Structure 1
Amino acid sequence: MIALMDKKTFRSWQRQRLADFAKSPAKKQQDRELTALALENPMVQQAEKIGVTLPLPLEVDISGLIKELRQEGKELYLAKCHPGWQLDFLRWDEDAPLMQTKFGVWELAEEKEADNDLDLLFVPGLAFSPAGRSRIGFGGGYYDRFLAKNPVKTLALVNSAMYFKTPAWPMKDHDIAMDDLILVKEAGDE
């Protein structure tokens, strides 16, 4: 079992773990497995308007999932960050031009009106735990702020390097639990 760490220490430690895992063949296999499990999930099947982010290399690669969701006729909405750690979702047409932020995140290049009335939101993060459906993200609090204002069903895809039986980070009152986690496997405490 991993000792509890403060969030800053945990994020640094976990980023390195995920960077190492990203180089392994297991990551690509688990990304494919998570995509298949997500497509079978009732929350995904019932949702019409789905919020996503384009993944960073450390995160689960959902590009295959995005392609499948488009083929199923789902409306996709891409995350857009604003000053003050605010987040909105903009309708994302397949051919819309994208730009990369200074943090490496891809967003729509053009400004559009936000539509945060989503049926489902895929929430990214560094680590997740089924204990309390906990998550720790990259540290900006964007998703917690967004979810506090927008009651959207949430789902996270969790590979074995992101899975913690119990959180190894402190939970705060403003940390919002996920509605569901899709686990590729229960790896146990690392």
Structure 2
Amino acid sequence: MDKKAFRAWQRNRLITFAKSPVKKAEDQELLNLALSHPWVKKAHNIGLTFSLPLEVNTLPLIESLQKMGKKVYIARCYSNRQMDFVFYEAGSELKETKFGVLEVASQEAPIKNNLDLLFVPGLGFSPEGKARIGFGGGYYDRFLAKYQKDYQFKAVSLVNSGMYFEEPLWPQESFDIPLDDLIIVKEIKQQEAENNEEG
């Protein structure tokens, strides 16, 4: 399956999955796993996005990180397919983009791309090579290619059962940048361990 076909197929799967009580329960579990992750505990400046309904819900994570005293930066995308991370304080005015994603409205809000940790969204993830497929804009691959080597921040993703693939069902390309870690619901992690023992 090529990337375009996979994205269309997977988007429909996730729209259906988003309506299930399983997703809500897994979102809560992933929130708890994220907050207990050592990289999250250590990080001061954390980049995220406000999630779409078919993604893992990041709003509780954003609020929890702020309560922990972390500085939260929200992605801002530009028409040239570049992006920056903009400081977000609780109560800051937000605006909706043409993609339906919320961004910080203020043009004066500080930008910081020298992050400690970045949560990367996507449609599908696989532990094989810590692979990810996004929505097709290439924003995150460009951002990681531009900044991660210099700033040495970690890139992680939250992965529910609807987004998880044992191996990538999409083609891997040279410009696809692997993640540093996947935060995966425990049921899948246990299944992975059992499969490895059997293999």
User: What are the within-5 Å matches in structure 2 for residues 162-173 of structure 1?
Assistant: 162-173=163-174
CA distance in 1, matches of 2:104, 2:82: 15
SS in 2 for 1:135: strand
Do structure 1's residue 142 and structure 2's residue 143 form an aligned pair?
no
Q: Which residue of 1 aligns with 2:101?
A: 105
Q: 1:63 aligns with which of 55, 59, 64?
A: 59
Q: Which residue of 2 aligns with 1:133?
A: 130
1:114 Cα shift? Answer: 2.1
What is the RMSD computed on CA atoms of the aligned residues? Answer: 1.1
SS in 1 for 2:173: coil
Q: 1:118 aligns with which of 115, 129, 148?
A: 115
Q: Which residue of 1 aligns with 2:195?
A: none
Aligned length: 184
Deviation per CA, 1:48-88: give whole Å up to 9, x if none.
00001000001000211111111100000000001210010
1:128 Cα shift? Answer: 0.2
Structure 1: which 4+ aligned runs deviate by more than 2 Å? none
Q: Which residue of 1 aligns with 2:76?
A: 80
Identity score, percent:
55
CA distance in 2, matches of 1:67, 1:111: 22
Deviation per CA, 1:31-57: give whole Å up to 9, x if none.
000000001100100000000100000
Q: Which amino acid aligns with 1:155?
A: V
SS in 1 for 2:156: strand
Q: Which residue of 2 aligns with 1:49?
A: 45
Deviation per CA, 1:110-164: give whole Å up to 9, x if none.
1134210100000000000000000000000000000001113111000000000
Deviation per CA, 1:98-119: give whole Å up to 9, x if none.
0000110100111134210100
CA distance in 1, matches of 2:144, 2:91: 28
CA distance in 2, matches of 1:155, 1:181: 6
Give the structure with the larger helix fraction: 2
Q: 1:89 aligns with which of 85, 88, 108?
A: 85
Normalization by structure 2: what TM-score?
0.90
CA distance in 2, matches of 1:19, 1:83: 26
What residue ranges of structure 1 are gaps of 5+ in the alignment? none
What residue ranges of structure 2 are gaps of 5+ in the alignment? 193-199
Q: Which residue of 1 aligns with 2:179?
A: 178
